Structure 1
C-alpha cells in the first residue's frame, strides 16, 4: 500500500511514485503517436462522429465506475476482516490473561500469544499464496503447521484445544468457555471471509468486456477528434485515454486486495501490528513495527 503524507494540490498533479502512470506510460505514448498520425493523415475515407463516441464514453464511464465500486467493496471488506482479526486477537488475549483461575504462568501467556501470532502469519501467507517461513513461527506450531494444507484452520484448532485444556483442568467455567468459543467462531468467520474474497474474483468475462471497450474506444477517439480539434487532438485524446486506462488498471489492482501490488493491503504490516498487540499484552519483547520504504510502499 502506498502511504504518503498529504501533499499540496499543485504537487499532487505531478506525483509519480504511487500513481499508475509509470505502468501505463508506454500505452499512453502509443496513443499519443496514434493521435499524431490521425491528425497528419487528415480526412479519412470513413467518418467518425464525435457525438457517437461521446455517448459511448458516457456509458463506458458509468460501467467503469460500477466496476471500480465493486472492486473497492472487495478491498474495503478485506480491510474490515483484517480489522476484525486484530480486534478478536486482542479480545482473546485479554480473556486469556484475566479469566483463568489460577492466572496463566509466563510460559502459558507466551503460548497463547504465539498461537495468535501464528494465526495472523499463516493467514497472511495463505492469502498471498506464499510459503510461511517456519522459523518465523513459534516453536510449538512449526511441526503442526508444516503438514497442514489449511494452516490458519489448524492454528484455530490449536487455540480451541488450548481452551479445552484449561476447561478440563477446572480453570475455566462453562460460561467463560462459551465466551472463548464465540471469539474462535469469529476468527473462523474472518478466515472464511478472506478466503472467499481471494478465491472469487470479479467475473472474468465482465473484466474482459470492459478492458476491450476501453482500448477500442481509445483507438477510435483520435480519428473522431482530428477533424474538429486539429493538432489539439493528441492532448485531449491522451488525457481521456489516461482517465479510462488508469481507472481500469487501478480496478484490476483493487479486486485482489491481498496481493503485493502498490495499492493492495499491507498484510505484512497488519500482521506485525497483531503480533505487537498480543506480545505487549503478554509482557513480551516486541518486534519493530513495519514502516513504508523510501518509495512510500508499505507491504
Structure 2
C-alpha cells in the first residue's frame, strides 16, 4: 500500500510510483506510434482512406467510461470489504485477549492464548498471500503446532481449533464459567467468519469474460481513435490519443490490481503492517513493550 503525504499539484503530475506507468508503458508507446503513423499517412491505410470522424467515438467513449466505472467499483468493493474484514480481525482479537485476562479465574497464564491470536492473524496473511503456512509463526505459537501447520490446508482454522481447545481446558478445570466460555467461543466464530470472507474474495475473481470484453473494447477504441481525429486536429492527434489511452489503460490496470487486494502490489492492502498492528496491540494488553510500528520504505510502500 502506498502511504505518503499528498505532493504539490505540480509534483503530482510527474509521480511514477503508483501511477501504473510501468504496467502500461509499452501499450502507451504502441498507441502513440500508431497515432504518429496515422498522422503521417493522413489516415490512409494502403490505398483506402479510413473515413472516420469524432462523432462515433464520443458515443463509444461514454459507454466505455461507464463500463470502466462498473469494473473499478466492483474491484474497489472487493478491496474495501477485505479491509473491513481485517479490521474485524483486529477488533475480535482485542476482545478475546481482554476477555482471556478478565474472565478466567485463578490468574492463569493467558500469554499463550493471546500470542495464539497474533499467530492466527499471521497465518491468515500467509495463506492469502500464498506463503508457507507456518512462515514466521515460531515467535507466537508452540513448536509442535507450527510443525503441524506446515502440512495444513487451512492453517488459520487449525489455530482456531487449538485456541478453542485451550478455552475448553480451562472450562473443564473450572477456571472459566460456561457462559463466559460460550461468549469467547463466539469471538472465535467471528474470526472464522473473517477467514471465510477473505477466502471468498481471494478464491472468486471477477468473471474472466468481463475482463476480456473490457480489455478488447479499450484497445480497439484507442487504436481506432487516431483515424477519427487526424482530419480535425492533425498533429495534435498523438497527444490526445496518449491522454485518452492513458486514462483507459491505467483504469483497467488499477481495477485488475486491486481485484485481489491480498497481494504485494503497491496498491494492495498492507497485510504485514496490519499483522504488526495486531501484534503491538495485543502485546500492550499483556503489559509488554510492543515492537516499533512498520514504516514505508523509500518508495512510500507499506507492506
Matches within 5 A, 1:36-55: 36-44=36-44, 45-55=49-59
Instruction: Name the counterpart of 2:33.
Output: 33
Give the paired residue count: 296
Residue 69 of structure 1 deviates from its aligned partner by 0.2
Query: Is 1:123 aligned with 2:124?
Result: yes
C-alpha separation in 1, matches of 2:43 and 2:201: 50
Residue 285 of structure 1 deviates from its aligned partner by 4.2
C-alpha separation in 2, matches of 1:130 and 1:268: 12
Q: 1:101 aligns to what SS in structure 2?
A: coil
Residue 145 of structure 1 deviates from its aligned partner by 1.7
Instruction: Name the counterpart of 2:3.
Output: 3
* Preserved contact between residue 20 and residue 246 of structure 1 (Cα < 8 Å): yes
Matches within 5 A, 1:47-66: 47-66=51-70
Q: 2:110 aligns to what SS in structure 1?
A: helix
* Preserved contact between residue 134 and residue 146 of structure 1 (Cα < 8 Å): no
Range with greater deviation from structure 2 (11-20 or 34-43): 11-20
C-alpha separation in 2, matches of 1:71 and 1:170: 49
Question: What do residues 279-298 of structure 1 show as CA deviations (whole Å, max 9, x unaligned)?
Answer: 12112343332110000011
Instruction: Name the counterpart of 1:205.
Output: 209
Residue 229 of structure 1 deviates from its aligned partner by 0.7
Residue 15 of structure 1 deviates from its aligned partner by 1.3
209, 222, 227: which one aligns with 1:223: 227
Instruction: Name the counterpart of 1:15.
Output: 15
Residue 133 of structure 1 deviates from its aligned partner by 3.6
* Preserved contact between residue 18 and residue 296 of structure 1 (Cα < 8 Å): no
Residue 11 of structure 1 deviates from its aligned partner by 2.0
* Preserved contact between residue 122 and residue 137 of structure 2 (Cα < 8 Å): no
Query: Is 1:96 aligned with 2:97?
Result: no
75, 78, 89: which one aligns with 2:82: 78
Structure 2: runs of 5+ lacking an equivalent: none
Matches within 5 A, 1:151-162: 151-162=155-166
Q: 2:231 aligns to what SS in structure 1?
A: helix
TM-score normalised per structure 2: 0.94
Instruction: Name the counterpart of 1:190.
Output: 194
C-alpha separation in 2, matches of 1:162 and 1:139: 13
C-alpha separation in 2, matches of 1:270 and 1:134: 15
Let me know the Cα RMSD of the aligned residues: 1.3
Residue 137 of structure 1 deviates from its aligned partner by 4.6
Range with greater deviation from structure 2 (3-12 or 170-179): 3-12
C-alpha separation in 1, matches of 2:43 and 2:168: 81
